[in-house]
A and B are shown apart, each in its own frame.
Chain A
Amino acid sequence: MFNILNSIKGQHDEERRARRHRELIRREAKIGAELFGPIPEGVRREFFCLDEHTWVWHEEWTDQAGSRRAITTRYDVRPSGVLKAQDGQPYRYVSLEEGRRLLKAVRMYNQRVQGELYS
């Protein structure tokens, strides 16, 4: 009987942690989206740290034909460089210019998130 109760409690704790984790990432993503200036109307943007080696940029917008479009870009941090993966495209290392912007964004993200959420 106790085992069943403990199991149910464990599941609840796990679910609660997962919800909390998602909530924190949502809040970080909102801050991350603000790093690149004002977001145009009708555009949904997110930029966040998924885990220690992954950054995600997600953007949704409506094109001229009125269709809703979305693109997700993932930056995989490897010891030898940062690989970029985009929907349907092969992996490739980020260019110098893109690397500069990513580095700046990551520093600002860390600074703002630490100051606004985790202090």
Chain B
Amino acid sequence: MNILNRESRERQLDPEESGRAGLVHAAAEATERSLLAGLGPQVDPNYAPHAYTTPAEQRVPTFGYANNIVEFPHRAPAPTVAPVPPAPAVAPLPEAPAFEAFSSAAPLPGFDNQIDHMPPIAGFDNNQAA
């Protein structure tokens, strides 16, 4: 039974049938190429996914229309942006010294708090008004 089925599936086509089978297939392919060339890839939105299964570097634009579908081989993908490292934790500010520390501090040399006793500046001193 299986043999009979296989034989019926593999029947020999007569020359007219073979000719028509090839012609119809060629016509379908020519029509597909023609429509894509004339109307662009939008004539078949599903064309790109199944038409190009080769790696990107092997893709060659064909038929002209394909330029609108396939990614050009020389167009390298955008570099991946490295993730930004987390900002270093901010160390807590040292606690501000108590106000008393300033009041008890010794006068700074040359610019002390005994300004009234500073010697007058030569030529432009603070006794000018007097």
Contacts from A to B (Cβ < 8 Å)? 17, 20-21, 24-25, 28, 49, 51-55, 75, 77-82, 93-94, 96, 99-100, 102-103, 106-107, 109-110, 113-114, 117-119
A-B contact pairs, 20 of them (CB 8 A): A24-B17, A24-B20, A25-B20, A49-B24, A52-B30, A78-B38, A79-B33, A79-B34, A80-B34, A81-B35, A93-B38, A94-B38, A99-B39, A103-B43, A107-B28, A110-B27, A113-B21, A114-B25, A117-B17, A118-B21
Find the residue from B25, B26, B27, B44 having the highest chain A CB count within 10 A: B27
- A82-B31 contact, Cβ under 8 Å, with A114-B24, A118-B21: yes
**Which of A21, A53, A75, A114 lies in contact with B16, CB distance below 8 A?**
A21
Q: Which B residues from 6 to 21 make CB contacts under 8 A with A? A: 9, 13-14, 16-18, 20-21
**Which of B13, B25, B43 lies in contact with A99, CB distance below 8 A?**
B43
B9–A77 touching, CB < 8 Å: no
- Whole-angstrom distance between the alpha carbons of A80 and B43 in the complex? 14
- A49-B27 contact, Cβ under 8 Å, with A118-B13, A118-B21, A119-B9: yes
B23 in contact (CB, < 8 A): yes
Smallest CB separation, B5 vs chain A (Å) = 13
B112 in contact (CB, < 8 A): no
Contact with A along B96-128 (1 / 0, CB 8 A): 000000000000000000000000000000000
B38–A80 touching, CB < 8 Å: yes
Which residues of chain B are near A117, meaning CB under 8 Å? 17, 20-21
A118–B27 touching, CB < 8 Å: no
Smallest CB separation, A91 vs chain B (Å) = 13
A103–B32 touching, CB < 8 Å: yes
B21–A96 touching, CB < 8 Å: no
B23–A52 touching, CB < 8 Å: yes
Contact with A along B31-54 (1 / 0, CB 8 A): 111110111001110000000000
What are the 6 A-B residue pairs with the smallest beta carbon separation, nearest first? A81-B38, A118-B21, A110-B28, A20-B16, A99-B39, A77-B34
Which residues of chain A are near B30, meaning CB under 8 Å? 52-53, 77
- Whole-angstrom distance between the alpha carbons of A109 and B32 in the complex? 13
